[in-house]
Chains A and B, each alone.
Chain A
Amino acid sequence: MEGLKKYKAHMERCSRCSICKWLPITVVKGWRFAQNCPAIMKYNFHAYSGGGKIIAALGLLEGKYDITEKFVDVVYQCSLCGACDLACKIYTRELIEPLEILEALRREMFMEGRVPERHKRMVEDVRKHGNPYAEPKGRRGEWARGLEIGKEGKPEVLYFAGCTPSYRLPSVARNTIRVLKKAGVSFAILGEEETCCGSTLHKIGAEEAFKEQAKKNVEILDRLGAKVMVTQCAGCYRMFKVVYPEVVRMNVEVLHISEYVERLLEEGKIKFAKEVPLKVTWHDPCHLGRLAEPRPKWEGRWEKIYGHVIISEPRKKVVYGTGGVYEPPRRILRAIPGLSFVEMWRIKEYSFCCAAGGGVRAAYPDLAHFGARERLEEARATGAEALVTSCPFCELNFLEVVEEGGWEMKVMDLSELILEAMGEAPEGLEVRR
């Protein structure tokens, strides 16, 4: 647990206030939808909260107990969504850094082989097949069949589809490509050459395997000489935009599809001509939202001022998650004629995680579905007919729950609405198994 030891002083500063379980206090608007963490909501024991995991890890570091099966579950029944990190930092700024601690804990757990079996297989699958679904590499580009993607000349944009659209939700990639085509954008796709961005590996603590993926992807981008890379996958976006620069040199501008479409709207290349009479709400994916704010590397020391006030020197920039991609999708939705947009209670940097990420859906699907149900209930409470988002992994999770029945709630990818507003008939979300 060497990698965790450097955080011991941070861990010891937890006061067990339990604020990590809630939205920032000032934005709480009622009894319902005030909690921020799917894991503590489902399992209830304090250990499942952000602070609880820190205390559990501190007990381990201090030799009070060894890693048990329950400890593995506690650590991995968490999507590492960062909601606890925001709630805590409002009060503790850089003193604790919950998310950094939880990530370090997972790296240590992975190195000791104390991870769910499913996660071990996932690492093998990504290394062998280039995706965590163990699907053949050769089928990666099948989603684009029949779309007539031109290969002449040097494209303006490289489109990165991601594993989930490639193998599970092809309509997401197809709709996105149709948006680009209709806007007259010159673009390329990677097809069979595309490989996993490594988001899941990063989240489960498989640091070396993640770095291998990062290097592979950056080599491809460099070889193609792409200047702009666009993706609609929130997970891929975060990796390329925020995490890769922490480990490799990036030479490409990374844009989420909502950012790129907004640019195309401003340039007049996209026009929303058709009315879309639908009441929708927007789910901020964690990877596009609070986790998409870059974390500047800090190297400094801790000092005491005014007796015992502890501060970082130079002052460490506190990342609250407010620098995510929040407004572009909202501006797009508001620009669609006939569309009515309503907000949920848990939005932007304090959005509620659907609980699919961080390896949860693979190893603990019941927790992932619990999170999705909770979010769908929030969407339903707004009176919206559709829950719109731009994370295929969230969409997959929501769709699995909606398929259980009893929900009169449509789950939509942002590209569907964009395409429809552009006068084209989009393909609906359908899970390919």
Chain B
Amino acid sequence: MPLDRRVYEELEAVVGPENISDDPCILAGYSYYWGAAYAMAGKPLGKWTPFPDAVVLPGSAEEVQQVVKICNKYGVKFKAHSTGWGPWAAVSQKGAILLDLRRMNRIIEIDEKNMYAVVEPYVTAMQLRAEAMKRGLMCHVIGAGPNTSVLASCTSGWGIGATAYTTSHNNRNMLAVEWVTPTGELVRIGSPGSGAGWFCGSGPGPDLKGIFKGYSGAVGGLGVFTKCAVKLYPWPGPTEPKVVGEAPMYGYEIPENCRLYLALFPNWESLNEAMYKIADAKIGFSFWRSCSAECLALLMASLTGLDFSEVYKTLPEVIGDARLQIFLASPSAKELEYEEKVLRAIVKEAGGELRNVAEEPLLSAVKELLFAALVFQNYMALGFSLTGDFFTSFGAELCPDRAIKAIPLAIEVRKKYVEKGLIVMDGKENIWGGPQEHNRFYHWEAAFEYDPADKRSLEAAAELVEESERAALKHRLGVTINASTSPQLAEVLSPHYSNYVEWVRRIKRKFDPKNLSDHGYYVTP
């Protein structure tokens, strides 16, 4: 549906003719995403999403504000979009315009002393991380990978990744925020609200984080975020990691003061037991599990060109199921030695085994690649290399003993899908996640790969997601990752979790009385 010419011309006057388009070939670029099996937001199976009526490229918060005011004037729905990877980055319905925030791409400030950065929406984690590391600091990188917007995961979605043990996750790394509300007001949340800098999201100044972010963010359903301060953490690793290897196997040299291990446990319970002790001992930089051994084997063979059958057969025998990749990084050799000793003792006590990746026959040849992949998460997009698509299930933030219950459930639910050949044979589970914030809580997500071009596989994938969600609900395994982008699923979960959707709905109605900020992935008003 073409946008009313008056609206188009007013928007054009704000952003300039080169920064607005309603040409279908331009609109298409904002309407095709992975997640073909993601049917839970009322989206049909498949990769196409509705075309926006127009796309605008605002260059500043002021331009965003003017665009939102024009939308309010004419009753036009709008959706903000940053790095845009996933259907929730799209408009959910026809008759909406999309604000691509790509031109707002500056790192405004890195405050080394107070350890935070202020960024615009299109700053990617790989850019912020590289700049932070030069200063001995590190930002959290979400599991989707370093090619994603830092601001988006802080303000509007989820953000858990491999270094979460030390760097928490972006739901909690968000500090002060600049927000253009659905009605077009420009609000600065936290310390900048009273002109006191960007160090704090809770004051002095208004604190509305609970309103616009809450547990998982509004996914573009509650206005547009134009700046965000994000917490940085001390980084004992190299200020500029040394790149080794050539395409496609770029890696980082593992420096003297860093070590990468695999800890193999006899079962998940002993892994949990060890993690409690590790957290008590206050050692280690990151603890994470990237995927099943079979999935890792398939990805490794895909990337390296090694024989699939050989790696698929060997790797699971070497690295097992209940496993964590552990990264130690210490400012001094003595401290590193101490941490390793303590770690080794704890893993042993739990019945496990600690293996140094650099000394493991099958892994040492690609240790630099594994360092870049497992700690820096530079190869997360490999998830698409097997079939072109994957999806996920479970994944709620829970205490360790509760979170672990998702694993046997995920194994049980997916079994028949693997056996029938409907999804990739990536092991009995393909669990991704680990401890966060020094073991305060865990995230275990169950991913799987399917072929979006194969109707049976695609439909099975959608069924698998739904079945997993039902299982998670039945066993009270929290508000899952998919519920954060699916109003339909949230409605199902809500009665079992304090009717939270009712409260979210009230916020939406109050802050967006005309319901113009695209609610499709947030809440049904």
Contact = CB atoms under 8 A, between A and B. Distances in A.
B24 A322 contact: no
A47 B25 contact: yes
A320 B248 contact: yes
A307 B421 contact: yes
Contact of A308 (B21, B240, B312, B386): B386
B294 to A, nearest CB: 8
Contacts of A90: 247-248, 250, 379
Interface in B109-155: 123-124, 126-128, 130-131, 134, 145-147
B382 to A, nearest CB: 5
B146 A60 contact: no
A223 interface: no
A109 to B, nearest CB: 12
Given A45-B55, A46-B30, A31 B123 contact: yes
Contacts of A89: 247-248
Contact of A55 (B29, B146, B372, B385): B29
B384 A91 contact: yes
A343 to B, nearest CB: 12
Given A15-B384, A70-B25, A25 B425 contact: no
Given A92-B384, A306-B424, A25 B146 contact: yes
B94 to A, nearest CB: 13
B250 A27 contact: yes
A93 interface: yes
Given A22-B147, A25-B378, A15 B33 contact: yes
B421 A18 contact: no
Interface in B44-91: 47, 55, 57, 83-85
A91 B384 CA distance: 7
Given A22-B124, A91-B381, A17 B85 contact: yes
Contacts of A318: 248, 305
B252 interface: yes
A256 B158 CA distance: 51
A9 interface: yes
Contacts of A91: 248, 379, 381-382, 384-385
B293 interface: no
Interface in A34-79: 34, 43-47, 49, 52, 55-56, 58-60, 64-65, 68, 70-71, 74
Contact of B381 (A17, A55, A308): A17
B497 to A, nearest CB: 31
B102 interface: yes
Given A91-B384, A310-B386, A305 B308 contact: yes
A89 B384 CA distance: 11
A47 B51 CA distance: 13
Most buried by A among B127, B247, B421, B457: B247
A302 to B, nearest CB: 11
A268 interface: no
A357 interface: no
Nearest to A290: B247
A27 B29 contact: no
A18 B147 contact: yes
A68 B384 contact: no
A309 B25 contact: no
Interface stretch (B181-189, B212-220, B445-453, B514-522): B445-453
Nearest to A88: B381
B426 interface: yes
A132 interface: no
B452 A309 contact: no
* Interface size band for B: 35 or more
Contacts of A31: 107, 123, 127-128, 130-131
A47 B28 contact: yes
A315 interface: yes
B384 A315 contact: no
Contacts of B302: 93, 309
Interface in B368-420: 372, 376, 378-379, 381-382, 384-389, 418
A182 to B, nearest CB: 35
B454 A44 contact: no
B33 to A, nearest CB: 5
Contact of A321 (B130, B247, B298): B247
B198 interface: no
B57 A45 contact: yes
Nearest to A69: B23
B423 interface: yes
Contacts of B196: none
B246 interface: yes
A49 B85 CA distance: 14
B93 interface: no
Interface in B411-446: 418, 421-426
B190 interface: no
B19 interface: yes
Contacts of A306: 298, 308, 312, 424-426
B328 to A, nearest CB: 21
Nearest to B102: A44
Interface string A8-41: 0100111111110010111111110010000000
Given A15-B34, A31-B107, A320-B248, 5 more contacts: A34-B126, A68-B24, A307-B418, A308-B451, A350-B247
8 contacts: A30-B130, A46-B26, A47-B29, A56-B25, A68-B24, A308-B421, A309-B424, A310-B386
Interface of A: 9, 12-19, 22, 24-31, 34, 43-47, 49, 52, 55-56, 58-60, 64-65, 68, 70-71, 74, 86, 89-93, 95, 304-311, 315, 318, 320-322, 349-350
